[in-house]
Amino acid sequence: MVGTGMGAERGILIRKGEAIQTMKEVKAIILDKTGTLTKGKPEVTDIIPLGGNPNDENTVLYYAASVEQGSEHPLGKAIVNKAKEMGIKLDKPKMFKAIKGMGVKSYVNNAEVIVGKPSLLGSNDLDAEVEKALKRLQEEAKTVMIVAVNRRLIGLIAVADTLKDDTVDAIKELESMGLKTVMLTGDNRKTAEAIAKQIGISDVYAEVMPDEKVEVVKKAQAKYGMVAMVGDGINDAPAITQANVGVAIGTGTDIAIEAGDVILVRGDLSSLVTAVKLSKATFRKIKQNLFWAFFYNTIAIPIAILGLLHPVIAELCMAISSVSVVTNANLLRRAKIHPPIFKVIL
């Protein structure tokens, strides 16, 4: 009760009692990238039209944003917002289709437009110049999307999502506690590895389709043992349920929150560090309380059997046992469950 109360005071809601016990046994923590490690508000950073004519940037953005008006994906919204900022008038897409985990396709002014991963067009359709640009952008930890009109590549759009303020420090702290950190993302492997290197993540699962996240959790469980999954999106919910401890970002979707055993209300990763430390501190107190509860009984019961223990003394021992357990439990409030670097955030 004291442990869950302390968690609530710090923006950590523990929905299931066993979660606080299991958390201390976790060996690895899997973190979805978008909205968990990052702020989930990506912005367009580069628009590269083929042929190098800067005047064609508006054309590339026009087609991409017109199609993405039908998408709910954060990357699509970033493209639409960029077009609005630049004052580009968009047309309504027709026959919109989301290609699962890959991109979107639609018709704009009777032209077929595809926006998404480079693999949508096939590697054979990308020349050396395009490959060079892709590699450069991906090494800068940016997500790159191709824009094709009538199956002809007309440009590239790069989008970057800013890391949360406490992400790097939180990952460093988790690693120092002996936990393996794993990043889960649908991004290209080069982009994913660049981001992981920037953050300090141990292991990376890249180019993961939404329906493959559960399999990734199972692989991590086979590799590391007990794992926690941290996510915020609809597609994260099954993986959160599969994990030994499901942790949902409170600023995410309702489905993810419903699936979580632990909810990080404010959405900051420093709360995850606090949750792990709280779990360990709580169970240290539980073990101490069990010791004191059995200590009195182990000594007093044999003496009582021999008829050498006065009933008043027996009652006093029981009272002392109860008082010591309650007092010790409340001493948990003094436990240091977050490092100094997070005091400002908390």
Q: Which helix (H) or strand (E) holds 128?
A: helix 128-139
What is the set of active-site residues? Answer: 32
Q: Which helix (H) or strand (E) holds 64?
A: helix 57-68
Spatial contact of 285 and 328, defined as CB atoms under 8 Å apart? yes
Closest CA to 292 of 264, 343, 258, 331: 331
List residues bridging with 144 in a β-sheet. Answer: 158
Q: Measured at the alpha carbon of residue 211, what is the angle toward residues 219 and 147, in degrees to the nearest 5?
A: 120
| Dist. CA 103–CA 280, nearest whole Å | 43
Distance of CA 202 to the CA centre of its chain: 15
| Dist. CA 115–CA 177, nearest whole Å | 42
DSSP 8-state code for residue 20? H
| Dist. CA 59–CA 71, nearest whole Å | 19
SS3 52: coil
Is residue 268 packed enough to be buried (19+ CB in 10 Å), middle (13-18) or exposed (0-12)? Answer: buried
Which two structure tokens, joined as six digits, stand for 220? 């991590």
Spatial contact of 137 and 22, defined as CB atoms under 8 Å apart? no
Helices H / strands E in the chain, number of each = 12, 13
Closest CA to 189 of 202, 209, 212, 206: 206
Distance of CA 213 to the CA centre of its chain: 12
Strands 180-184 and 203-205: parallel
Cβ-Cβ contacts under 8 Å for 335 (sequence gap 6 or more): 277, 278, 281
